[in-house]
Chains A and B, each alone.
Chain A
Amino acid sequence: MKSNKEKICDFFKLHFSDGAAKGLSTQYLTECFGIQRTNMSSILNSLVKEGRIKKSSGRPVLYYMDKDLMESTNDCFSSLIGFDGSLKRVVQLAKAAVLYPQRSLHTLLIGATGTGKGFLAMLMHKFAVESGVLSKDAPLITFDSKGYIGNPTGAIDAILSNKEMQASNGCVLLIDNAECLDVGARSMISARLLEGDPLETSIQKTMIIISCNTTNRNAYEDYASKVPIVIELPLLRERPLKERMEIIRTFFTLESARLNRILCINAEVLRCLLLYDCELNVLQLKADIKIACANAFVRNYKNKDKEFRVYIGDFEHHVRKGFLHYKAFRDEIEQMIPFDYSYAFSESTMEMSAIDKDKLKNRSMYDDLERRIIELSDRGMDESNISMIISAEVENVFRQYQSKLTQEIVNKEQLSKLVDIRIISMVESFLDEASVKLSKVFPTSVFYGLCLHVNAVLKQQDTMNSIPTRQITEIIENFKAEYTMSLQFASLIEEEFSVSLPIDEVVLITMFICYKAPMEDIAKKPVMLFAFYGKAVASSYINALKTLTHHDNVYAYEINFEKESEVIYNELKNTIVKIDRGAGVIVVYDMSLLGPMLDTIEVELKTIIKRLPTNITSVGLELSRKAAIDENIDSVFNSVSHIQTLNNKKKKKIVTLCSTGEGAAQELKNYVKRYGDVSDMEIVPLGTSDTELLKEQISDLLQTDIIHCIIGTFNPRLFAIPFISISDVLSAPKAALPSILRLKRIKKSEINFDDVYAYLEEQLISVDISKLKRTLPMIIEQINARITHMSLDSEVGLFIHIACCINRILSGELMPKNLKKDDIIERHKKQYKELVKLIKPIEKAFGIILNDDEVANILTIINKL
């Protein structure tokens, strides 16, 4: 066993390891260790003498341990990848458990399969021996619970009768796969092992580590309540890529030692390994690397070379899918593993060596890509994956080219020294036009880049000329507008300089204007969203901002108060999804209604959203209204001074509204209060039918509060506040009222379509329901996706409507005419064309024709005309 002195020293290490600044007093330490104060004092003094700790002057005397003193001491945990990163807390807890004074604490390790629970338990045992808590020959006894499924008493008996444990003077007992034990066995383990039954002498000196998979929540919660220390291991994908890289390196070096060969891989393999979905965490990573190395070894079996390569094809298919995540992590990956390097693992090290650069230089930048496409398809990658990888690569290469071009240019003056003035003005007007047509702001780097590029092309300096054909067609297809404009621009240049430009050049120009901000700008920085009330307010504002800052990180959302709040919610959510670059969105908004929406969106999307409400609109409203009735400028001005302070204390309110007078509104309020379970909200009765007056009253309320919804006889359609009709409130069963008031709607998933088909089958004698099942749901989906997103009401209604139409046509009934048919079709030409296409499968399946009257009816429903 360790001496008290060593234990105290360890205690210091632990205490100061996480940067704690406060010193330890003799009194405190005496209490912790339960030894006499005089003994403690002399131990501390001798530690100070040895220079292992320091003491403060002044009273009470406090003791410290210096950082460098701590770090000089290596323990077995420092070999654990991530001990100072994602596993820092884990290591701290593990040490604390082992080093706890008197006796080590029982510990519960939880984590998904393959996160390293067993490995950690092994390290803890090692640490216990290393630090002298356990004697050198103290065993680590592993008990696998899997063998005792359905045998509750068997497990505990087997543990208690373990000979090795009984014989040892202190040991670590690892109960592995503890989630397999049933409730009975778990409670026995808790009672007889964890709570330290004094009768069980054999386990008095045993440190118990329970390893439990996160799959069985009940199990680990049972144990967690009984065990002083719970350590949770993170999933591999939650850990930083750097650590994953380290882990990969370790496994390769292990394999290298085992095979006694140097293993070489290229950057591509390394990237896949870093990115693929490792469901079974570290364990799977290890297994996958092992399999690949084994495959490579078989191939090179006869080859006596010291070195051999492991190709991506040697890995299981799911590893290769790592590519698919490449775009999302490009920056981080590029930094960690530069593309033009290859990696060699030997028994002890990893070496990175640059691929012969001279060879690369002489090649056009796209030669590589062509070669890689062939390589990839040779390995059986499917088309879509290849093109995804390649387009990521092309974009990458292009960006590098562009940033190389513009690195040295600082201003236009410098540019004019390098580039023909005609080019500058042509590019300028081209980009101006493009920015109007594509409603896009181009940063100056695009301008410089394009000028220099055109210049280089005309001087035939650069051989940027072989873009893979696949890429050309893809770009032309995806960016038709940009391509057309570039084509015009190219012909202007051809005319002006009497040259001819190949199609590759046009595509390159297209790539310039398909510009997305370069990586270093776009990567993981927060963006701002301005959500303002009124037409074009927000977009004008951000245009002004962009002109001033030239940064492309501000976005606009226009709040249209005629829209339903659900629509606003969805639009807002989609906007945030679109603009978020991974570092969160700051939303500046002027309507309090958005506050709770943003909260919900934040939870739903897990995007960081910071809210910055401004009250400019309410200040404006208030001022304008006051100024209309008051001639004293001071009193008008003072009328808004309170808004600022009230802004943060928003309360939720429900407005009950009756056009006939306040009495009815009051009654409605009482009803809602009684049955609606809305004690957290205040209910405000308003009785008026004058829209203007109402608008005023509501906006008054909005200044200090949030209006959750309006319940009333008519929908005033104000400020996009959700409306519930009085009949919905009164006709609903009382028990359902709370959920109606909380604006919960029936979800599509709650509709059982089997019942719907049964009903239709019973009613629609002429329709073959199986045909209907095949065609109709798909068409509804496509209308949702391609034409307009329908509410559930419309969707269900349309479903029944179309089914009935088919029935009518098939049974030869007379179809009613739609009198507004021509007008409707004329106004929704585009949708009409799309719709006619979409309904083809039905017409085909049933051998009918849905005439324009019917199509117009459908248009009426989906557009709510």
Chain B
Amino acid sequence: MKIMLICAGGASTSILMKKMRKYADEKGINLDIIARSIGNYDECSSEYDIMLLGPQVAYQKERIETATQKPVTVIAPYDYAIGNVENIFHQVNEMLL
């Protein structure tokens, strides 16, 4: 599974990224994940299956959808704020399946 996380500066998604990696390792999920900012996501977006947005950049959803032609979804604010990785994976699965 290849996921790109996008937020304003790439900082806040990177902590989430770490947590998601750890979770994937534990659960044996094959995960390729990267954190980007809204300024530099498009260079390698084609390599990823899905884009997850931090709630602070939710308003960019449509723009990113058009630019990448990939499924894009906004992480629920509360899940994002507490790093509820399980819910986030659930969200991703529902989008991809």
Please state if A796 and B81 are interface contacts (CB–CB under 8 Å): yes
**Which B residues are in CB contact (< 8 Å) with A752?**
82
Please state if A746 and B82 are interface contacts (CB–CB under 8 Å): no
Please state if B74 and A793 are interface contacts (CB–CB under 8 Å): yes
Of the candidate stretches A132-140, A535-543, A802-810, the one touching chain B is A802-810
Does A714 interact with chain B (Cβ within 8 Å)? yes
**Which A residues are in CB contact (< 8 Å) with B39?**
816, 818-820
Q: Give the distance in Å from the alpha carbon of A816 to the alpha carbon of B41 in the complex.
A: 13
Q: Give the distance in Å from the alpha carbon of A196 to the alpha carbon of B46 in the complex.
A: 84
With A751-B78, A763-B15 as known contacts, state yes or no: A805 contacts B55, CB within 8 Å.
no
**Which A residues are in CB contact (< 8 Å) with B15?**
763-764, 804, 807
**Which A residues are in CB contact (< 8 Å) with B1?**
none
Please state if A861 and B77 are interface contacts (CB–CB under 8 Å): no
Does A232 interact with chain B (Cβ within 8 Å)? no
Min distance, Cβ A856 to any Cβ of chain B, angstroms: 10
Does A731 interact with chain B (Cβ within 8 Å)? yes
**Which B residues are in CB contact (< 8 Å) with A801?**
7-9, 11-12, 54, 56
**Which A residues are in CB contact (< 8 Å) with B91?**
731
Min distance, Cβ A851 to any Cβ of chain B, angstroms: 12
**Which B residues are in CB contact (< 8 Å) with A815?**
9
Q: Which residue of B lies closest to A865 (CB)?
A: B59
Please state if A755 and B55 are interface contacts (CB–CB under 8 Å): no
Find residues 17-65 in chain B having any chain A CB closer than 8 Å to their own CB: 18-19, 37-40, 54-59, 61-62
Counting chain B residues whose Cβ lies within 8 A of the other chain, the interface size class is: 35 or more
Q: Give the distance in Å from the alpha carbon of A807 to the alpha carbon of B78 in the complex.
A: 20
**Which A residues are in CB contact (< 8 Å) with B67?**
none
Q: What does the 1/0 interface line of B69-81 toward A look like (CB < 8 Å)?
A: 0010110111011
Chain A contact residues, majority secondary structure: helix
Please state if B57 and A797 are interface contacts (CB–CB under 8 Å): yes
Please state if A861 and B8 are interface contacts (CB–CB under 8 Å): yes
Q: Which residue of A lies closest to B58 (CB)?
A: A793
Min distance, Cβ B8 to any Cβ of chain A, angstroms: 5
Q: Which residue of A lies closest to B59 (CB)?
A: A864
**Which B residues are in CB contact (< 8 Å) with A793?**
55-56, 58, 74, 77
Please state if A746 and B9 are interface contacts (CB–CB under 8 Å): no
Q: Give the distance in Å from the alpha carbon of A628 to the alpha carbon of B78 in the complex.
A: 51
Does A715 interact with chain B (Cβ within 8 Å)? yes
Q: Give the distance in Å from the alpha carbon of A864 to the alpha carbon of B77 in the complex.
A: 16
Please state if A804 and B56 are interface contacts (CB–CB under 8 Å): no
Partner of A796, one of B9, B11, B77: B77
Please state if B12 and A731 are interface contacts (CB–CB under 8 Å): no
Q: Which residue of A lies closest to B83 (CB)?
A: A759
Q: Give the distance in Å from the alpha carbon of A801 to the alpha carbon of B13 in the complex.
A: 8
**Which B residues are in CB contact (< 8 Å) with A746?**
76-78
**Which A residues are in CB contact (< 8 Å) with B19?**
763
**Which B residues are in CB contact (< 8 Å) with A816?**
9-10, 37, 39-40
Q: Give the distance in Å from the alpha carbon of A795 to the alpha carbon of B80 in the complex.
A: 12
Please state if B81 and A799 are interface contacts (CB–CB under 8 Å): yes
Min distance, Cβ A763 to any Cβ of chain B, angstroms: 4
**Which B residues are in CB contact (< 8 Å) with A792?**
55, 77
Does A727 interact with chain B (Cβ within 8 Å)? yes
Find residues 758-797 in chain A having any chain B CB closer than 8 Å to their own CB: 758-759, 763-764, 791-797
Q: Add 15 more A-B contacts to A801-B7, A807-B15 (CB < 8 A).
A: A725-B61, A731-B91, A751-B78, A756-B81, A758-B82, A763-B83, A791-B58, A796-B80, A796-B81, A797-B8, A801-B9, A801-B11, A801-B54, A816-B10, A816-B39
